[in-house]
């Protein structure tokens, strides 16, 4: 499948991807397999080189990756990294006027609004479009994409979004990041609820796997119970979404809550729990490993 750009020559859209990590790798691969022209950059070049067999061109600097791109996708660690790559390492300065930046990183809404304003002053369009669905969703093209920005820019980005999953416009610049924070609040809190409930059952003598099976289909059922609950049953905490990333998102939610004068006591409690888990050496495990922190508190292996 080849997706044409809006240029008269109808060449495939040229997409630059900045950040080839756990999400950038499968998403970059999907862009290549869709027939787009893809250039990639990563701070560690070896990670970007994994996309060479699929046809991606690897750049040594961010500016080289974006110089001829129609659309630039950012998949970076946090808002500081996004700002550094765009404005300190020269990516934005190397873009042509009219380039569309789609920031799919998870950052603060206030940072997304600032980046949009700075890019806009340079004649560059911007969408904040964080995702949910993890590496499995990235590989399968089933991500939920939460988009903040102008509807016209969303329409322009739609051919790329369709490769990744399902995009929903939720409001102006920064609104995509607000939706992502809501997602991460629900995910992080629900992981804790599932872990605590299953551990209570095990401590009391019930079969944890059977309890999970028994409540499937009831009001307590959820994707978290099914996916993360199964990881807890199997004690499989291989990183898909890390404790440290979940902690970053909870802290971003609390920072945003303070900025807008909103009290979020439940998120505050779970920020503390994830911080303690990270402090006990669990930060690089899957976020379902909050189970391990709660088990330890109760003297359970």
Residue 180 among the catalytic residues? yes
Q: Of 47, 61, 150, 180, which one is the catalytic site residue?
A: 180
Distance CA(231)–CA(209), nearest Å, equals 10
**Residue positions annotated with a catalytic role:** 180
């Amino acid at each position: 499948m080849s997706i044409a750009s809006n240029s008269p020559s109808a060449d495939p859209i040229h997409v630059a991807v900045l950040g080839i990590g756990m999400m950038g790798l499968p998403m970059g691969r999907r862009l290549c397999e869709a027939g787009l022209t893809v250039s990639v950059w990563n701070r560690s070049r070896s990670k970007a080189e994994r996309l060479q067999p699929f046809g991606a061109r690897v750049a040594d600097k961010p500016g080289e990756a974006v110089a001829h791109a129609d659309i630039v996708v950012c998949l970076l660690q946090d808002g500081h990294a996004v700002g550094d790559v765009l404005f300190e390492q020269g990516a934005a300065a190397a873009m042509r006027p009219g380039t569309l930046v789609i920031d799919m990183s998870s950052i603060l809404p206030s940072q997304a609004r600032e980046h949009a304003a700075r890019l806009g002053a340079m004649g560059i369009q911007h969408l904040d479009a964080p995702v949910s669905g993890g590496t499995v969703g990235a590989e399968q093209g089933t991500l939920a994409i939460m988009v903040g920005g102008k509807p016209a820019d969303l329409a322009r980005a739609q051919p790329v979004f369709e490769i990744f999953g399902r995009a929903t416009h939720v409001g102006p610049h920064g609104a995509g990041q607000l939706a992502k924070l809501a997602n991460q609040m629900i995910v992080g809190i629900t992981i804790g609820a599932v872990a605590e409930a299953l551990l209570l059952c095990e401590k009391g003598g019930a079969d944890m796997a059977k309890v999970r099976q028994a409540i499937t289909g009831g009001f307590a059922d959820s994707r978290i119970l099914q996916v993360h609950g199964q990881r807890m049953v199997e004690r499989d905490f291989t990183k898909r979404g890390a404790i440290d990333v979940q902690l970053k998102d909870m802290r971003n939610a609390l920072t945003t809550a303070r900025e807008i004068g909103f009290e979020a006591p439940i998120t505050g409690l779970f920020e503390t729990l994830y911080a303690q888990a990270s402090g006990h050496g669990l930060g690089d495990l899957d976020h379902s490993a909050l189970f391990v922190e709660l088990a330890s508190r109760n003297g359970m292996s």
